[in-house]
Structure 1
Amino acid sequence: MMDRLLAIEPNELTIHFEAGRKSSGLLHVRNLMHTMPVAFKVQTTAPKKYVAKPSTGIIPPLGVTTVEITSSLRSELPEDYPFTSDKLIVKSVLVPGDSAHQDCISSEWFSSKKKQVFTDAGLKIMMVGGGILRSLVSAASMEYVREVLERDVDVNSVDELGNTAMHIAISKRRPEMVQLLMEFGCNLERANKSGYTALHEAAMVGDALVTELLLNRGASIDARTPSGHTAIHHAVGRGHLEVVRILLEKGADINATSKDGKSALYIAAVNGDRKVMKLLMENGADVEARGPDGSTALHKAAAGGQLAMVMLLLTWGAEVDVLNCEGKTPYNLAAASGHENLYDMLKMGNMFRSAARRGDLKTVRQFLSQGAQVNGQDQHGWTALHCAAFKGHTEIVSYLIEKKADVESVDEEGYTPLHCATEAGRKDIVQLLISKGVDLDVKMKHGFTALQIASSLNSPSLTRILSEGRARRLVSESVRGSMSASNQKDTALVQKIRSSRIPSISKLSVQYRCATVA
């Protein structure tokens, strides 16, 4: 016994939905009978939402009829998608013999009381389209996104802001969606109304994985927005260090400027982002690049009172006396903003340390009286005391110590003034620093003490001075320790203990030197 008269394709109705437009799908209804015409009737479980054209008809033997199902226009997304709760019902019946040639179809033919009526019920209705695709991407419905794309939906369709599904996937940080959309051929260079491509979007949200995926698929690394910004401008502007690193590794133009003249380094300086700035300079950023107002990165760091950034820029050779469009130096901007901690580094300090290096005591005194910081450091961590000690200016060293210079200050390599004086062979300075109680055992970053430096330089006189100085320090510490142990109850007894247990200074010094040489 035959169980159906018609074949319906496809087995799911796909309606291409776009808000504000006619949305419809097609059904192909084929008569399976070889000799008999078949009448059909199309209904839905939601008659107010869908219209079938034609809703009824007669199909000749083995013939095919196409039925268009149109949804009513909507300004928003459907209530449920992509698969709706609505169903499509197609009824069929053999055309009565005496009515085969009639155009008019009687509703009585499809009466439920008629046993010869066949019903194909429960066909699913699937709503697809650009808006639905973007909504599913936003909701991370991976399975449904694939199903919608397989229905020949335009992967590059846009919303009212010009955003594609790719823009949305990136803004939601969905790398798996990004891969799927690329699989279906999305246009990576399609810009939204703000002029942002997919790579711009990835740089702004700081998604390193998506950035790498896009670049590996050939996304234009230096594509520009209408304002002239590239992906590296966006990544730097938002402080996304890893994205900046990837862009640089892939060959981004590090010195590209926007239409208003801002480079990536300039933007990092404005934002006070030292880590990003350091990465940019390590990769060849132009430290003297000017911004819209003629300012360099150093101007911006100085105006913001960013001490660490100023030091970093000076280390990389930033010009201190450069003028912006208003004729201001970085020092002028720091002074105008009240950043006194930068005065020494940007102007006064350099001249102060230079005077100490030259041995110009008069100028040293002058700058100190004007407010120069006695312990101010340059970009390498050197103070005026380091400079004077290295150059052997004993009078200036003595004066600086008198003015509370830190005899234990260290530069970026761990050098103290004692290390500097020892390395330069300045015996008088070494003796002076020892007399002021410097720590003789402090090590620079390479692990050497001043005594080890003297030994490596084959300087017996310096080695002797440092060894004896350390020996005297040991004696002094031993005496203090003994007095503390006895709680200072009997000074005479302490002196006796000292004379009986502590060797002479010369003997102790020889023992120490021998141990050091060994």
Structure 2
Amino acid sequence: MEATGNSQPAAPNGCRNGTAAATASQLDEAIKKGSVKTVRQLLEEGANVNSKVEGGWTPLHSAVQADQEEIVSFLLEQGADPHARKDNGATPFIIAGIVGNVNLLELFLSKGSEINEKDNNGFTAFMEAAWYGREKALKFLYENFSDEKERDVNLGRIVSTQQRQMYKGGETALMDAARKGHLSAVKTLVKEMRASMHACDNFGRNALIHALRLPQKRNTILRQNKNIEPIVSFLLDCGADVTGRDENGKTSLILAAERQSQDLVELLLKTSKVDVNAMGNDGETALKVAVENNHEEIAKLLCENGARADGSDVFAAKENYNNEMVVLLLKYRATATNSQPPKEWAPTSKCWGEQLRRLHGINSPQIRKLNIIFDEYYALRASLKEAST
């Protein structure tokens, strides 16, 4: 019947409790609470089984995230799209890898999911299982790769040009497990799945460097993952290359010093393959990092293993009012100058301006004998000798 006067038209099916968006929200909430009865009721009233809430989450995505197998099966029976993607490109199958639910992974494979399908950040279900330490899912996925090409556990993430500019791309499952501190997953990937410790991402970082990199939230350093040291030890025992650097030119030893872990520094020094005086792109050595962090034990350990203390290190210790550190550095023949690092300087060379500016910023005081400075960043070897007076 045609509406007359001020009466409102009846709400469309599925919107009796409000707008379609509100109904989708109700459905999402019911799934998160695990209420099969409410989910069934909402769908019977016409709720869209493939509706989306913020972030592109469909009911199926939410059911997988909530680890609700019964609801997942029911939604699929009601026509839920097993290949739907969130805004970030993640499918329900990839979410199942995060959750680590082998039954759901198997279910989605039977529905046509591809084992190496990727989200917008290049993550596969296998990579997600490694990132979250879901070892059962990791093994299941490895066993269900259909051929050797699919079974390439050293497959690196494929990312966009914009993401590469943010130092992302090329990371493997082993790098992810190592960075997140999942010791058992790391061992499984190396021992059982032959993951390469020598594989590098788009920026030359291997699994060891990823394990040593600081957490994104710097304040979490005091709550370090207890598995990082065993992981580093395991990787070193398996022959990991300790000479690699991160995107900022920081060596494994510098990263260990940044983590303020004496045990990590000691592990790396015992390999006798690290350059104790190597500098990052910012001109800082592992010793300089230890001094700035007031970590006397690490500073002493580095000095005992040949770290060259100089005037800038002493200056940093004095800035921290750490007289014990000053005494330590002077004991290891640091110059007692109070001069600060060089001031900003503008080179005239158009071709080498940036490199010269950075070289100028590296404080390396002259001493009474020949001082040889090695710096891989500039691929040069410079000899400095104190000018005679």
Give the TM-score normalised by structure 1. 0.40
The equivalences for 1:103-502 within 5 A come to: 134=28, 136-142=30-36, 145=39, 154-251=48-145, 253-258=152-157, 259=159, 260-261=168-169, 262-282=171-191, 283-291=193-201, 293-302=203-212, 306-335=228-257, 337-350=259-272, 370=304
How far off is 1:193 after superposition? 1.8
Provide the C-alpha distance between the structure 1 equivalents of 2:79 and 2:196, rounded to a whole number of angstroms.
38
CA offset at residue 341 of structure 1? Answer: 2.3
Identity %: 27
Q: How far off is 1:333 after superposition?
A: 3.0
Say if 1:182 and 1:349 are closer, same or farther in 2 by CA, change over 3 A: same
In the alignment, the residues of structure 2 paired with residue 130 and residue 254 of structure 1 have an alpha-carbon distance, to the nearest angstrom, of 38
Match of 1:173, SS state, is coil
From the superposition, tell whether residues 134 and 370 of structure 1 become closer, same or farther in structure 2 (CA, over 3 Å). Answer: closer
Asked whether the equivalents of residues 183 and 230 of structure 2 are also in contact (C-alpha less than 8 Å), the reply is yes
Deviation at 1:241, TM superposition (A): 2.6
Say if 2:65 and 2:96, in contact at 8 Å, map to a contact too.
yes
Change (3 A) 1:159 1:71: farther
* Structure 2 residue matching 1:71: 3-state secondary structure: coil
Q: Which residue of 1 aligns with 2:337?
A: none
Query: For 1:194-239, what per-residue CA distance to the aligned partner results, in whole angstroms no more than 9, with x for missing partners?
Result: 2211012222333333223223333222111112122223222223
State the shift of 1:142 in Å: 3.3
175-184 vs 137-146, which deviates more? 137-146
> What is the root-mean-square deviation in Å for CA atoms of aligned residues?
3.9
For residues 136 and 332 of structure 1, the distance between their equivalents in structure 2, rounded to whole angstroms, comes to 49
**Cα 1:76/1:171, change in 2 over 3 Å:** farther
Partners of 1:277 and 1:331 lie apart in 2 by 21
User: How many Å separate the matches in 1 of 2:24 and 2:77?
Assistant: 17
In 2, the alpha carbon distance for the partners of 1:335 and 1:346 equals 11
> What one-letter code is carried by the residue in structure 2 that aligns with 1:71?
A
User: What are the ranges of 5 or more consecutive residues in structure 1 without an aligned counterpart?
Assistant: 1-51, 56-68, 80-128, 352-366, 373-518
In structure 1, C-alpha distance between the alignment counterparts of 2:257 and 2:35, rounded to whole Å: 57
1:318-364 residue CA offsets vs partner (Å, 9 max, x unmatched): 1233344555442343245443323443244557xxxxxxxxxxxxx
3-state secondary structure, aligned to 2:199 = coil
> What is the aligned length?
244
Q: Distance in 1 between matches of 2:16 and 2:96?
A: 27
Aligned AA for 1:340? Q
C-alpha distance in 1 between matches for 2:57 and 2:33: 16
TM-score, normalised to structure 2's length?
0.52
Query: Residue 253 and residue 175 in structure 1: after superposition, are their counterparts in 2 closer, same or farther (change >3 A)?
Result: farther
Cα pair 1:222 1:253 within 8 Å, conserved: no
Report which of the two has the higher share of strand. Answer: 1
- Post-superposition Cα deviations, 1:453-484, rounded to whole Å, max 9, x if no partner, equal xxxxxxxxxxxxxxxxxxxxxxxxxxxxxxxx
Q: Provide closer, same or farther for how the CA distance between residues 302 and 169 of structure 1 changes in structure 2, counting only shifts above 3 A.
A: closer
Q: Distance in 1 between matches of 2:67 and 2:132?
A: 16
- Between Structure 1 and Structure 2, whose CA radius of gyration is higher? 1
Q: 1:103-132: CA deviations, max 9, x gaps?
A: xxxxxxxxxxxxxxxxxxxxxxxxxx8666
